[in-house]
Amino acid sequence: MPESLFITDLNEIKSILKTNESIYLYDTVLIAQHEKIFHQTGARLLCDFVKEAPVIITETVYNELARANESTKRLSERYIAYLSQFQQLLYLSESHLFELIRYKYPKGVLPNMMKIVKAAFKTRVSFTRCLDTAVVPSEEMLLDLLHEDFADGKDYGEYSLIWTAFVIQEIYQKMNCHFIGADNDLFRLYMSSYQHDAWANQKQPMKKAWISSTETILAAMLLDYGDEQMIHLYRHAHVASRKLIYHEYLHGILSLQYASKPFSNMEFIHAVKQKHVHIVY
C-alpha cells in the first residue's frame, strides 16, 4: 500500500470526486522537478496554485517515483515531504479504475472498460487492433494485454493519466481534468485525446480538460500578481532551455497556430507581460 499521506479508500475517493469540479493529474517528470525546487527553496508553486483541489497520483506515476528509491521501492523521504504539502492527494490504482467503472456499470464492467481503454490508448494502434480481434474474457486479461504492450515502460505514465481522466469523466461527466506535466509526449497525448476528438465528433458533449506546464502557471501568476521571483526560482538554466509551446498575439488578436521555442527568463517575462505570447505548455 502507498504511504499514509495518500487517500486510497475507494469510497472516500468517490466522495471527493463527487464533490469537486476539478482535479489535477500530476506527471512524474514535473513532480521530480518540483520536489527538487521545494527542497532547495521551500517554494510550493503547484500547491499554492491548486489550493484545496484534489491532486491525483496514478499507480504508474507512483511506481516511477518509487523506482528512484532502489533500496525500498517506496517513495523517498524527499518525495513524501514534498507531496505532503497537498491538501487532498489521491492515489488511484488500476484496480480503482475498474471499481469506478463497476460503480456505474455493475453488470458491464469489462465492455465499458474496453471502450474506454481503446479511446485512451488509441495511438497505440497495434494494441487497439489486438483488442478488436482478441477474445478478452476477464479484467485480468485486459490488464495483462496492456502491460505486455508497455513491457518497456516507456510512456505508460503519461497514458495512465489519460486513462484515469477518461474513467473519471465517464463517471463524473462534468469533471474538469487538468493535466500537469513537462514533456511533449503528454502534450501530444492530450491533443489527440481531447482536442482532435472535440472537433471530429461535435455531436458528443465536449469533455473539459486543460494541460499546463510550470511555465503556464508562472505566466498566469505573472499576469495576475506580477510575480517575477517564482520565474527565477523555477526556470534555472536547464529548464529554461526547454522549448515552450505558445500562441502569438498580433495586434491583440491571438493566433491559434502553435509555435515553439526556448525563452530566457527575461524574454519570458517581457513576452508575457507585454502580451506578445500566450504560454500553452
Taking alpha carbons only, the member of 268, 184, 263 closest to residue 230 is 268
Q: Which pTM value belongs to this model? A: 0.93
pLDDT tens for each residue of 248-273: 999 889 999 999 999 999 999 999 99
- Separation CA 139–CA 156 (nearest Å): 18
Is 78 a residue whose pLDDT tops 70?
Answer: yes
What is the band of 63 on the pLDDT scale with cuts at 50, 70, 90?
A: very high
Task: Decide if 189 contacts 25 (C-beta within 8 A).
Answer: no
**What is the average pLDDT across 83-88?**
97
pLDDT, tens digit, 9 for 90 and up, residues 166-185: 999 999 999 999 999 999 99
Residue 207 has pLDDT above 90, yes or no: no
Give the pLDDT of residue 62.
Answer: 96
The amino acid present at 236, given as its one-letter code, is: H
Q: Does residue 79 carry a pLDDT above 80?
A: yes
Residue 203 binned pLDDT confidence (cut-offs 50, 70, 90) = low
pLDDT at residue 74, rounded to an integer: 84
Q: What is the mean pLDDT of residues 190-202?
A: 71
Q: Over the stretch 114-155, which tens digit does the pLDDT of each residue have?
A: 999 999 999 999 999 999 888 889 999 999 999 999 998 899
Task: Tell me the average pLDDT of the chain.
Answer: 92
Spatial CB neighbours of 39, under 8 Å, sequence gap ≥ 6 = 78, 81, 82
The pLDDT value given to residue 232: 92
pLDDT of res. 118: 95
Domain boundaries, the chain: 10-212, 215-279
If you average pLDDT over residues 225-244, what whole number do you get?
Answer: 86
- pLDDT band of residue 241 (cuts 50, 70, 90) is confident
Residue 195 has a pLDDT of: 78
Backbone phi and psi for residue 92, each to the nearest 5 degrees, phi listed first: -115, 115
Question: In this model, does residue 84 exceed pLDDT 70?
Answer: yes
Q: In what order do the strands lie in the sheet with 176-180?
A: 89-92, 55-58, 22-26, 176-180, 209-212
**In contact, 94 and 59? CB cutoff 8 Å:** yes
* pLDDT (mean) for 23-36: 96
